[in-house]
């Protein structure tokens, strides 16, 4: 398939001699990975809750942050708050993001979250017309999206599959929210999280899921008779209801 412009994305260039160390102490992944390709990471609250997810890419004397447009301004504000005496600068990059499946253009990089997500390319020219049903791709691989399954100040990244999606490094050292994330990692198992469900019918994104009349989770993106749901796993057995739709757990938890 041909590539398409990644709508509603912003690129933030982090420059200055302290740029790598500055980001390393804040984000969930090892910033050094951005030297060899794309690194997927998140910024968390001190309480370990999700604020923003993004890709990192080293380009010359800058580290680029590829983030959803709606999260860009609050992300810059939060990074600026942490800057203090660090020798870094934050500015919007003029580059465009293109993403696609199939044969990749020269210079494109594989999406580090999952092979099904294809490639991303950064250039001065915007991409072509949209041609890919990304919701179908995400549902098939249980990939959360900013502003849908990933909710600022509410979501926990391990419940949203960040370990499976290569978005967290447990050996890199301290970062904001690291203590809470590490505690969740070392639990015997997560009691809540994202999972793939079979959906008979349809319901609006954000519809509450009920199991025998008790709250069991929330239904999010749906495509092709399946969906991504946030579930309480102790209540997720058998058939459940999400408004007019019937829901059944079919995939492993995130």
| Mean pLDDT across 118-123 | 94
Band of pLDDT at residue 252, cut at 50, 70 and 90:
low
Question: What percentage of the chain carries pLDDT values higher than 90?
Answer: 86
Quick check: 2 pLDDT over 50? Answer: no
Cβ-contact 78, 152 below 8 angstroms: no
Quick check: 254 pLDDT over 70? Answer: no
Q: Which residues contact 254 (CB under 8 A, 6 or more apart)?
A: 142, 144, 159, 160, 161, 164, 193, 194, 195
Band of pLDDT at residue 1, cut at 50, 70 and 90:
very low
Higher pLDDT, 105 or 16: 16
| Mean pLDDT across 58-69 | 96
| Mean pLDDT across 190-202 | 95
CA distance 205 to 40: 25
- CA–CA distances in Å: residue 121 to residues 75, 109, 111, 203, 205: 22, 6, 10, 34, 29
pLDDT for the residue numbered 3: 52
pLDDT for the residue numbered 8: 86
Residue 99 is encoded by which pair of tokens?
A: 């993403």
Handedness of CA 16, 19, 21, 23 (dihedral sign): positive
pLDDT for the residue numbered 146: 94
Closest CA to 223 of 133, 161, 121: 133
Q: Which residues contact 186 (CB under 8 A, 6 or more apart)?
A: none
Quick check: 100 pLDDT over 50? Answer: yes
Which residue ranges form the domains of the chain, and what is each CATH number? 4-141 (3.30.1360.120), 191-249 (2.40.30)
| 71: Cα separation from own chain's centroid | 12
Express each pLDDT in 141-179 by its tens digit. 999 999 999 999 999 999 999 999 999 999 999 999 999
Mean pLDDT, the chain, integer = 93
Quick check: 135 pLDDT over 70? Answer: yes
pLDDT for the residue numbered 172: 92
């Amino acid at each position: 398939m041909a590539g398409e412009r990644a709508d509603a994305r912003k690129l933030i260039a982090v420059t200055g001699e302290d740029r790598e160390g500055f980001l390393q102490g804040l984000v969930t992944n090892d910033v050094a990975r951005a030297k060899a390709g794309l690194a997927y990471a998140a910024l968390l609250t001190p309480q370990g809750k999700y604020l923003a997810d993004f890709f990192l890419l080293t380009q010359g004397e800058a580290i680029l942050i590829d983030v959803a447009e709606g999260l860009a301004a609050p992300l810059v504000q939060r990074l600026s708050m942490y800057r203090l005496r660090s020798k870094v600068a934050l500015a919007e990059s003029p580059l465009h993001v293109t993403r696609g499946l199939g044969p990749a253009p020269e210079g494109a990089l594989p999406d580090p979250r999952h092979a099904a997500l294809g490639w991303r390319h950064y250039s001065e020219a915007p991409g072509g017309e949209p041609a890919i049903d990304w919701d179908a791709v995400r549902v098939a691989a249980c990939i959360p999206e900013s502003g849908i399954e990933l909710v600022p100040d509410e979501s926990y990244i391990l419940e949203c599959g960040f370990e499976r999606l290569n978005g967290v490094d447990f050996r890199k050292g301290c970062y904001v929210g690291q203590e809470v994330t590490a505690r969740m990692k070392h639990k015997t198992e997560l009691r809540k999280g994202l999972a793939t469900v079979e959906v008979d019918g349809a319901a609006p994104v954000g519809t509450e899921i009920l199991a025998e009349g008790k709250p069991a989770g929330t239904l999010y993106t749906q495509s092709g008779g399946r969906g991504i749901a946030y579930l309480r796993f102790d209540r997720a057995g058998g058939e459940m209801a999400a408004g007019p739709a019937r829901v059944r757990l079919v995939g492993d938890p995130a």
